[in-house]
């Protein structure tokens, strides 16, 4: 600084918005250059020429003024400290657990893992897919089932998906679903929500007599919790036989830690087994995120929802992982899809699998045995104090005690002494122990239950007084599990650290290069946004702790909802849905419930343009709404004439239309307001898929221009990292008259409500601080600047690539929204090159491919986001141009159509070092097509993966070691 420069004022120094320029990758000079390439005079002029005047926001968002990273963290810490950390004995599906430090730091807090995308591009995702195959193997082994997916959103939604899987798969034609009443209440609630709109009758059975009567009747499946919610473990073998005699399915909700010691349901002939892996290292986090699982019998595998990682081979014949069967299944089968699950819980699944790798079978059994032994000790001590447990002779980790009318006073005493017990039902209190339980905890519980002056038992005496667990001998597990070497090798911390590093080194995530995935918005996940999620005040909180202990979360929920209302223009928001797909489902439930309340239950048609994301029709199907597809015109816009005709044709029965805005074609359609008015005039509601909100925040609000419902994807627009395929958060946002129909716990069966859509009231609560931090640090102007920078960057890429790859759809003035579809379709004829070949060749250049063949086959959809620097945008553009030159070599015949760097991409180091190199291009041209790669090179660990082979030879467990030989 020269001495003549004016010194900034104190206020200017204090109010500097430090975070915005960290989040947005381009500065004023970059912007000026980019605008000159696009041919616009200013950013304002660019935005005005893109966003239709008719939808522009009436006023700026009303958000608190932005603060620095340090100030936001301090404010959030104060908010977090309003959550009270009591010792949790609540159980009910959520337990204390110790995440091994090596996993905490090197996975949960490591951007190499949390910033990765869903593994659709197999070659750059081998590390996380190996971890997911470990997850699947772990679930198969512990449940004794032949096949398991990776992963489900939570135990309750997994149970609901099991219900619909059974409905599709069994011979029974009944519409009745039976649930044992001793199942976690949140699971029953979510199942009731899911069953109602598709005409399934749920029978919750509360006594042995009712159970016998139910099994004697007609039903298509029965769900049993094992160990039960009250802790009871019983032998269900003959029940499974009775269920099978009715051509119905036996479904178990279970606990993997318990199964290290208990007979697994697969050995009884279970058809479907679901559960949560939370207690394998993921903090309770007020309910999420955690990975749930689903395992099923082999015959059901082609209709298993969620993602399945399979083993295939690459072009060199080496084993390689890739997503099997269900890859983008909703995109292909749409309203016939088995489920709408898109974003799942990959990061929590990776953590659970690593917990098993770290502890191994012996270590897991040791943890389980300690829990079981403490439970036995606790139970005997309580009996000495005069409290006998229900089913005290048969439990793993939970005691359910009759309190003789003292439930409330004992629970209150517990809170006063720093512990939460579960008020189960009637006069019963439940106490669950877990990995974190200590002797002091057991003594604390005795103190809580002891009457004044009563002598307390001792751990030693109670231990000596009986068996080492309360597991019935007949239910003791005899079969082995986790015998694969991966679970028996990495038990030293050094070994574990290197295994985790070895896997993440195989993958390409945002910590290495841009991930320009259209529709997925892979933007910065700032470290300051991530730090709070592992604070104990957010992480170690039980979702069903008394509300007055969850004030921090309540306030976070309230503030974030208010801010999202500002961003969207809606009147009400629920943060409960665990992903965008679940937000869609919740939003459609709201529309359906609204129509029913108006006496219009017959309104059951949903119009969906052909360009829609596959989750849209899949979600409509889940709520029993019939999908009618409407056409797009030659410019990719909704064909208004066709929409009008279909509105008229279905006027009486029109429930809603689902559009995406700006469209999945990357264009701001100018007639969106008219579209909304048209649908409203026919009595329908408008669902605006909010996945593209990164083009709207601060610029236009769906709730203002005619939308009635939207979901947001906080893992796209609001900075929650993709985690390699989850966790996500998919808030559902609605206009005022739909607010009563937002999801809520404790409302099941009440008319005029929709019930719960996730196991926990706040869904994936523990990642909400990320979006809170983002909004708090950006403020209204910063968020608007981010939107505008995202639009600017997309237009810059489109403009610079126009002579190489034309942009397929644009508005009349040639501009796009926040993403652009590069049209590669003509290359097939001139060179035989497909978009997929370009996607794979980009790996050699060190990039993750853009979105491939969605929404238009054989195109690439590029979304740079606001977070990329001009340097990185240019690096990507130059790679794409260089690849176009390579394609020209094929077009001119210099390289054959079937043997060139594109068709053979990605090139592994091993293939390039082969003694007999006989390609028509040099090794250097394959490996280092641009000079910068010589000093910074990502090497793909496998060659191109064979998808067809993998589906024909479906194999979804750890690869036998012999196959590596």
Question: What is the contact surface with ligand PLP in residues (CB under 6 A)?
Answer: 342-343, 519, 579-581, 613, 615, 660, 664, 689, 691, 713, 728, 730
Tell me whether residue 40 or residue 335 sits nearer to ligand PLP (CB atom).
335
Q: What is the nearest approach in angstroms of ligand PLP to the Cβ of residue 290?
A: 17
Tell me whether residue 845 or residue 854 sits nearer to ligand PLP (CB atom).
854
- Strands 272-276 and 249-255, sheet pairing: parallel
Q: What is the nearest approach in angstroms of ligand PLP to the Cβ of residue 612?
A: 7
Q: What is the nearest approach in angstroms of ligand PLP to the Cβ of residue 322?
A: 19
> In whole angstroms, how far apart are CA 222 and each of 158, 159, 206, 212, 218?
14, 11, 13, 12, 11
Distance CA 219, CA 213 (A): 11
Do the Cβ atoms of 714 and 694 come closer than 8 Å? no
What are 265's two structure tokens? 């349901």
Q: What is the nearest approach in angstroms of ligand PLP to the Cβ of residue 620?
A: 12
Do the Cβ atoms of 123 and 946 come closer than 8 Å? no
Q: What is the nearest approach in angstroms of ligand PLP to the Cβ of residue 586?
A: 12
Tell me whether residue 85 or residue 629 sits nearer to ligand PLP (CB atom).
629
Distance of CA 90 to the CA centre of its chain: 25
Q: What is the nearest approach in angstroms of ligand PLP to the Cβ of residue 334?
A: 12
Do the Cβ atoms of 629 and 608 come closer than 8 Å? yes
Nearest residue to ligand PLP, by Cβ distance, number only: 580
Distance CA 151, CA 305 (A): 9
- Phi first, then psi: give them for residue 894, nearest 5 degrees: -60, -35
Tell me whether residue 375 or residue 851 sits nearer to ligand PLP (CB atom).
851
Q: What is the nearest approach in angstroms of ligand PLP to the Cβ of residue 302?
A: 22
DSSP string, 734-752: E-GGGGGGS--TT-TT-TT
Residue of 115, 110, 140, 113 whose CA lies nearest to 127: 113
What are 658's two structure tokens? 């689902």
Tell me whether residue 465 or residue 629 sits nearer to ligand PLP (CB atom).
629
Tell me whether residue 310 or residue 730 sits nearer to ligand PLP (CB atom).
730
Q: What is the nearest approach in angstroms of ligand PLP to the Cβ of residue 742?
A: 18
> Where is 868: in which H helix or E strand?
none
Q: What is the nearest approach in angstroms of ligand PLP to the Cβ of residue 632?
A: 15
Tell me whether residue 88 or residue 343 sits nearer to ligand PLP (CB atom).
343
Q: What is the nearest approach in angstroms of ligand PLP to the Cβ of residue 338?
A: 15
Nearest 5 degrees, angle CA 117-CA 123-CA 126?
70
What are 206's two structure tokens? 């509360």
Distance CA 932, CA 925 (A): 13
Q: Is the dihedral of CA 499, 500, 504, 505 positive or negative?
A: negative
Q: What is the nearest approach in angstroms of ligand PLP to the Cβ of residue 711?
A: 7
What are 22's two structure tokens? 């960290």
Q: What is the nearest approach in angstroms of ligand PLP to the Cβ of residue 715?
A: 6
Do the Cβ atoms of 165 and 296 come closer than 8 Å? yes
Alpha helices in 302-345 (DSSP H): 329-333
Collect all residues with Cβ–Cβ distance below 8 Å to 137 and sequence separation of at least 6: 482, 484, 486, 957, 958
What are 855's two structure tokens? 């929404």
Tell me whether residue 717 or residue 900 sits nearer to ligand PLP (CB atom).
717
Q: What is the nearest approach in angstroms of ligand PLP to the Cβ of residue 574?
A: 15
> In whole angstroms, how far apart are CA 395 and each of 5, 262, 475, 511?
75, 10, 10, 46
Tell me whether residue 517 or residue 877 sits nearer to ligand PLP (CB atom).
517
Tell me whether residue 728 or residue 761 sits nearer to ligand PLP (CB atom).
728
Tell me whether residue 484 or residue 613 sits nearer to ligand PLP (CB atom).
613
Do the Cβ atoms of 793 and 27 come closer than 8 Å? no
> Where is 264: in which H helix or E strand?
none
What are 400's two structure tokens? 């359910």
- Phi first, then psi: give them for residue 177, nearest 5 degrees: -120, 125
End-to-end CA distance of the chain: 63
Tell me whether residue 229 or residue 330 sits nearer to ligand PLP (CB atom).
330
Distance CA 474, CA 237 (A): 11
Q: Is the dihedral of CA 881, 884, 886, 892 positive or negative?
A: negative
Q: What is the nearest approach in angstroms of ligand PLP to the Cβ of residue 614?
A: 8
> Where is 595: in which H helix or E strand?
helix 580-597
Residue 574: helix, strand or coil by DSSP? strand
Q: What is the nearest approach in angstroms of ligand PLP to the Cβ of residue 580?
A: 2
Tell me whether residue 184 or residue 665 sits nearer to ligand PLP (CB atom).
665
Q: What is the nearest approach in angstroms of ligand PLP to the Cβ of residue 115?
A: 16
Collect all residues with Cβ–Cβ distance below 8 Å to 134 and sequence separation of at least 6: 353, 354, 356, 357, 486, 487, 958
Distance CA 72, CA 96 (A): 28
Q: What is the nearest approach in angstroms of ligand PLP to the Cβ of residue 730?
A: 5
Distance CA 373, CA 397 (A): 9
What are 424's two structure tokens? 């189960």
Do the Cβ atoms of 294 and 162 come closer than 8 Å? yes
Tell me whether residue 128 or residue 884 sits nearer to ligand PLP (CB atom).
128
Tell me whether residue 528 or residue 619 sits nearer to ligand PLP (CB atom).
619
Tell me whether residue 338 or residue 713 sits nearer to ligand PLP (CB atom).
713
Residue of 635, 638, 640 whose CA lies nearest to 808: 635
Burial 264-286 (b: 16+ CB within 10 A, else e): bbbbbebbbbbbbbbbbbbbbbb
Residue of 593, 699, 617 whose CA lies nearest to 61: 699
Tell me whether residue 137 or residue 660 sits nearer to ligand PLP (CB atom).
660
Tell me whether residue 379 or residue 763 sits nearer to ligand PLP (CB atom).
763
Q: What is the nearest approach in angstroms of ligand PLP to the Cβ of residue 921?
A: 37
């Amino acid at each position: 600084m020269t001495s003549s420069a004016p010194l900034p004022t104190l206020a200017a120094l204090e109010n500097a918005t430090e975070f915005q320029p960290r989040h947005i990758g381009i500065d004023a000079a970059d912007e000026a250059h980019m605008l000159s390439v696009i041919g616009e005079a200013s950013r304002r002029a660019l935005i005005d020429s893109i966003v239709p005047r008719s939808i522009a926001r009436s006023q700026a968002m009303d958000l608190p003024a932005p603060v620095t990273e340090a100030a936001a963290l301090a404010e959030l810490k104060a908010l977090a400290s309003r959550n009270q950390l009591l010792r949790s004995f609540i159980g009910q599906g959520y337990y204390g657990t110790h995440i091994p430090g090596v996993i905490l730091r090197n996975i949960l807090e490591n951007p190499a893992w949390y910033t990765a995308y869903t593994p659709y591009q197999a070659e750059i995702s081998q590390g996380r897919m190996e971890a997911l195959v470990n997850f699947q193997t772990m679930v198969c082994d512990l449940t004794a089932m032949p096949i398991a997916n990776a992963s489900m959103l939570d135990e309750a939604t997994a149970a609901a998906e099991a219900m619909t899987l059974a409905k599709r798969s069994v011979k029974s034609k009944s519409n009745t679903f039976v649930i044992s009443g001793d199942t976690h209440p949140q699971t029953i609630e979510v199942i009731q929500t899911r069953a109602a709109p598709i005409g399934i009758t749920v029978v919750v059975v509360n006594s042995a007599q009712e159970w016998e009567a139910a099994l004697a009747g007609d039903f298509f499946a029965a769900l049993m919790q094992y160990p039960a919610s009250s802790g009871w473990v019983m032998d269900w073998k003959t029940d499974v036989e009775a269920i099978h005699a009715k051509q119905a399915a036996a479904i178990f909700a279970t606990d993997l830690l318990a199964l290290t010691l208990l007979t697994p349901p697969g050995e009884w002939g279970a058809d479907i087994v679901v559960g949560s892996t939370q207690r394998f290292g993921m903090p309770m986090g007020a309910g999420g995120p955690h990975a749930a699982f689903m395992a099923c019998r082999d015959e059901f595998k082609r209709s298993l929802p969620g993602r399945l990682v399979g083993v295939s081979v690459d072009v060199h014949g080496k084993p390689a992982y890739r997503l099997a069967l269900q890859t983008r299944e909703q995109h292909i089968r749409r309203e016939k899809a088995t489920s709408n699950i898109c974003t799942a819980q990959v990061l929590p699944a990776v953590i659970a699998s690593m917990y098993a790798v770290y502890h191994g079978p012996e270590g897991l059994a040791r943890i389980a045995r300690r829990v079981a032994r403490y439970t036995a000790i606790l139970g005997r001590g309580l009996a000495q104090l005069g409290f006998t447990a229900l089913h005290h002779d048969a439990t793993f980790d939970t005691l359910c005690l009759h309190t003789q009318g003292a439930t409330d006073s004992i629970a209150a005493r517990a809170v006063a002494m720093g512990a939460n017990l579960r008020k189960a039902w009637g006069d019963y209190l439940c106490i669950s122990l877990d990995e974190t339980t200590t002797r002091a905890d057991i003594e604390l519980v005795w103190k809580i239950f002891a009457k004044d002056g009563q002598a307390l038992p001792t751990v030693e005496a109670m231990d000596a007084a009986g068996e080492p667990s309360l597991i019935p001998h007949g239910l003791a597990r005899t079969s082995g599990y986790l015998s694969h070497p991966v679970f028996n090798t990495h038990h030293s911390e050094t070994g574990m650290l290197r295994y985790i590093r070895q896997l993440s080194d195989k993958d390409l995530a945002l910590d290495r290069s841009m991930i320009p995935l259209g529709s997925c918005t892979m933007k910065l996940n700032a470290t300051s946004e991530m730090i709070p999620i592992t604070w104990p005040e957010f992480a170690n909180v039980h979702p069903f702790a008394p509300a007055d202990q969850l004030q921090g979360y309540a306030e976070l929920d309230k503030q974030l909802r208010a801010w999202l209302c500002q961003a969207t223009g809606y009147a009400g928001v629920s943060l409960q849905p665990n992903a965008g797909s679940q937000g869609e489902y919740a939003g459609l439930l709201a529309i359906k419930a609204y129509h029913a309340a108006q006496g219009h239950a017959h309104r059951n048609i949903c119009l969906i343009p052909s360009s829609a994301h596959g989750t849209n029709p899949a979600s409509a199907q889940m709520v029993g709404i019939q999908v009618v597809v409407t056409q797009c015109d030659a410019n990719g816009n909704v064909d208004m004439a066709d929409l009008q005709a279909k509105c008229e044709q279905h006027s009486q029965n029109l429930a809603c239309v689902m559009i995406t805005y700006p469209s999945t074609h990357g264009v701001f359609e100018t007639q969106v307001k008219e579209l909304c008015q048209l649908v409203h005039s026919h009595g329908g509601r408008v669902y605006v898929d909010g996945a593209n909100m990164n083009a709207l925040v601060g610029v236009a609000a769906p709730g203002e221009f005619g939308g009635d419902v939207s979901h947001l994807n906080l893992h796209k627009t609001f900075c929650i990292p993709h985690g390699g395929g989850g966790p996500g958060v998919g808030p559902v946002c609605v206009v005022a008259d739909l607010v009563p129909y937002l999801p809520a716990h404790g409302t099941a069966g009440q008319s005029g409500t929709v019930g719960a859509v996730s196991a926990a009231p706040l869904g994936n609560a523990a990642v909400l601080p990320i979006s809170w931090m983002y909004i708090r640090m950006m403020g209204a102007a910063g968020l608007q600047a981010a939107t505008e920078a995202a639009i600017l960057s997309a237009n810059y890429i489109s403009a610079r690539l126009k002579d190489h790859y034309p942009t397929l759809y644009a508005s009349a003035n040639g501009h796009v929204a926040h993403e652009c579809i590069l049209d590669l379709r003509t290359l097939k004829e001139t060179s035989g090159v497909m978009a997929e070949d370009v996607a794979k060749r980009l790996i050699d250049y060190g990039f993750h491919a853009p979105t491939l063949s969605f929404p238009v086959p054989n195109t690439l959809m590029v979304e740079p986001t606001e977070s990329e620097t001009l340097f990185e945008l240019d690096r990507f553009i130059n790679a794409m141009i260089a690849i176009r030159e390579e394609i020209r070599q094929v077009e001119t015949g210099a390289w054959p159509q079937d043997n060139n760097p594109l068709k053979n991409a990605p090139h592994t180091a091993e293939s390039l070092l082969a003694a007999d190199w006989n390609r028509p291009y040099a090794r250097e041209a394959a490996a280092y097509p641009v000079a910068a790669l010589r000093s910074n090179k990502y090497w793909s660990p496998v060659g191109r993966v064979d998808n067809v082979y993998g589906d024909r030879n479906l194999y979804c467990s750890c690869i036998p070691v012999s196959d590596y030989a």
